[in-house]
Amino acid sequence: MNKDPNVQPRPRPQPPEKPLPGDCCDSGCVDCIFDQYSDALRAYERAVAAWELEQGGGER
C-alpha cells in the first residue's frame, strides 16, 4: 500500500481519565461516573484497534 509521505499519521488515541473513588456520589445514579468511564474505555479500545489497523495491523 502506497502512503502519501506528506500525510501525517493520526496520533494514537489516548485512554479516558479514570475517575477517582471519591468522584462517585454513591447515590445509585442511572448514569454513574464509573458507567460513563466504562463506556469511554470501550470506545477507546475500539479506537485503538482501528488506529492499529491504519498503522499496518500492528506490524512493526
Q: Which three cell numbers stand for residue 41?
A: 474505555
Rounded Cα gap, residues 39 and 28, in angstroms: 17
- Concatenating the DSSP letter of every residue in 36-56 gives HHHHHHHHHHHHHHHHHHHTT
pLDDT, tens digit, 9 for 90 and up, residues 7-34: 777 899 999 999 998 999 999 989 999 9
What pTM, to 2 d.p., does this model score?
Answer: 0.75
| Element containing residue 33 per DSSP (H, E) | helix 33-54
